[in-house]
Chain A
Amino acid sequence: MSWLSRKYLPLATTAVLLVLLFATGSVIYRDKNFCSLYVVADLFSENAFLGITALGMTIVILSGGIDLSVGSVIGFTTIFIATMIADHQVHPLVAWTFALTAGTAFGLIMGILIQRFRLPAFLVTLGGLFFARGMAFVIKNESVQISHPFYKTMNKIVLPIGGGAELSFAAMLFLALLGGMIVVLHYTRFGRNVYALGGDEQSALLMGLPVARTKIAVYAINGFCSSLAGIAMTLFMRSGDPTKGMALELDAIAVVVIGGTLLTGGVGYVTGTLLGVLIYGTIYQIKLFAELPSSLATLAIGGLLLAFILLQKVVGVRRQN
């Protein structure tokens, strides 16, 4: 059991918590069919954009950094794509390509500023938060509908998971990215570099790992993920809006931490982030079924975040001893 207490304890706690939460919901709302594949499908489909953001955030936090700009990049991406499609008659796929390129470039620039000039990551990405939100409003300061036939086609692409429930295209994007992240982080040299960098930057440098390149790449990848999350959001909302994704970075960080990733970097799993997203979604589903005010769900997320950070602290202290 010693391997469990050290390496997998946070992950196991998260998994148990998810099961408990879902079971509680299922028991209390059994007459409303809480325990159904529809709810499960909703957990993935409605939180796809959060999940994609959180996956990007996981890799940044694993490397020992933080990115506060993701919510703004999502907002920028949605209005950018919607305006390109609606006002400039650009094909959605072309708009997506442009958006992904812009998001990646944005992350790259922030990464370069952080790495080359030794600026604190939270400050640079805070600047990024301001900048991207402002740019979103430069494009358009109101919501734009997307009524391109391509979007109708994309929304018809679903993956049935039985019982009439189905996963949306955005949910499939999320799961595909999850698979990709698992491969990159656990089976490639780059992934090992990310963990090493988050574990101890000095040691990674002394070991001769390409610290600079890895650090910059991590922010570029997160920029890509953020704009991909923006795309997922346009699929979900069928519109673009410069105010979208406000404060989403905090939800993303909360989800990553609840998923067992250490905020100090170097420890954690993307699988944990998946569990974190599902917990987050389950709390909101319970809120929906119970017809509770959404402020209580926010409080629950905050409380969970606190509990998990305290747990990390306890585990960390034990490791030091």
Chain B
Amino acid sequence: MSRERIAKWKSSPLLWPLVGLAAVLLFNAFFTPSFYQLEIREGHLYGSLVDVLNRGSIGVILALGMTLVIATGGVDLSVGSVMAISGAVAALLLTETSWGLPLVVPCALGAAMIAGLANGILVAKVGIQPIIATLILMVSGRGIARYITGEKVIALVNDDFSESFDFIAGGHFLGLPFPVTIAVVLTILTLLAVRTTVLGLFIESVGANEKASHIAGINARGIKVLVYVFCGFCAGVAGLIDASNINAADTANAGIFTELDAIFAVVVGGTALTGGRFTLLGSVIGALLLQTLLTTMYTFGVSSDTAPIPKALVIIGVCLLQSEAFREKVFRASENRGGER
């Protein structure tokens, strides 16, 4: 590899998330060889790697929306609650009406996008700080979802629709679980939208300096509203996969703490929380890294209850590495050592 190429790679935002992912995969190669076993049953692929992709797809989808929101200098704490709302709407319509999936899915996604719109209006038009504006929906969104389902878990079993709804999470496409397909398609579409049009540039510009973007003629507020609506949409899709996965709308547990996972994926992926430049692929890798980490821990008998501990340590570690103040201190220390030599 030429020197310029190496230099380019070194400065790539994808470097660190990829190194992290490689480290976890390497660890598995040595300590859990079964991690790489794949087998084909009834035309479908099975194995830990497929599991990571399947379970990670919700995280990937949420990370897409969260990346764009964070790129505009915001954050969306309500994605977990919006997931619950979308699942609740879908379950209610499936059980209470005779509507088919082609009508139910748009309704559920529409509800999620309305929630995103509410966030966007509060942030962009009213001017409330994003943490707080989305906190409101985080608190009351779960209440809305619980109210929709009448405070109980709506089970989706033994009905005509259940098979088609089941396909969202339980189906397969090209031998892979269907959520993987959804995640891949959404990622490609989002990438196309932000990298082949000026949209990505506008988002970065709004995140870097809202006032300057406005003066330059960019509809900064409109862009902000748009990314929150998109984030709501992503949460809606994730909510449908989640509800289909457990065949129920469990509003108390659906999407709980997923906002934190999504923020984690974005931060690990190399997008700064201060907004501006973003990397969608980094976030996707971040989400997969998180899922690989979790799956690895589960194979070592770490219960899902205690899994948050390593998660927290990784998130703080990554933040420290990204922190100017931390790097300065460490860097200066190593420089001093060099000087003594």
Contacts and interface: CB of A to CB of B under 8 A. Distances in A.
A138 B312 CA distance: 14
Given A127-B316, A138-B309, A309-B128, A117 B325 contact: yes
Interface residues of A, number: 47
B146 A310 contact: no
A15 B85 CA distance: 33
Interface stretch (A40-48, A161-169, A188-196, A292-300): A292-300
A117 B319 CA distance: 9
Given A126-B260, A141-B303, A131 B139 contact: no
A250 B324 contact: no
Interface residues of B, number: 45
A117 B323 contact: yes
B313 interface: yes
Given A128-B312, A253-B135, A309-B132, A123 B267 contact: yes
B308 interface: yes
Contacts of B98: none
Contacts of B147: 293, 295-296, 299
Contacts of B122: 306
Contact of B131 (A122, A295, A301): A122
A215 interface: no
Contact of A301 (B139, B305, B315): B139
Given A117-B325, A295-B143, A263 B308 contact: no
B260 A254 contact: no
Choose among A128, A129, A294, A306 the residue with the greatest number of B CB atoms under 10 Å from its CB: A306
A141 B139 CA distance: 26
A263 B303 contact: no
A226 B140 CA distance: 23
Interface string A158-198: 00000000000000000000000000000000000000000
Contacts of A130: 260, 308-309, 311-312, 315
A142 to B, nearest CB: 10
Contacts of A137: 303, 305-306
Given A128-B312, A131-B313, A298 B139 contact: yes
Nearest to A298: B143
Contacts of B144: 295, 299
B68 interface: no
Contacts of A242: 305
B278 to A, nearest CB: 17
Contacts of A156: none
B325 A133 contact: no
A123 B136 contact: no
Interface in B123-143: 126-129, 131-133, 135-143
Contacts of A135: 309
Nearest to A303: B140
A6 interface: no
A129 B323 contact: no
A294 B144 CA distance: 11
B143 A116 contact: no
Interface string B283-324: 000000000000000000001011111011101100110011
A127 B136 contact: no
B319 A131 contact: no
The 5 closest A-B pairs by CB, nearest first: A302-B140, A298-B143, A137-B305, A134-B309, A130-B312
Given A129-B312, A263-B129, 9 more contacts: A118-B324, A119-B323, A124-B316, A124-B319, A130-B308, A137-B306, A251-B139, A305-B139, A313-B128
18 contacts: A116-B325, A117-B320, A117-B326, A124-B319, A126-B263, A134-B307, A135-B309, A141-B303, A247-B139, A257-B132, A293-B151, A295-B142, A295-B143, A296-B147, A298-B139, A299-B143, A299-B144, A305-B135
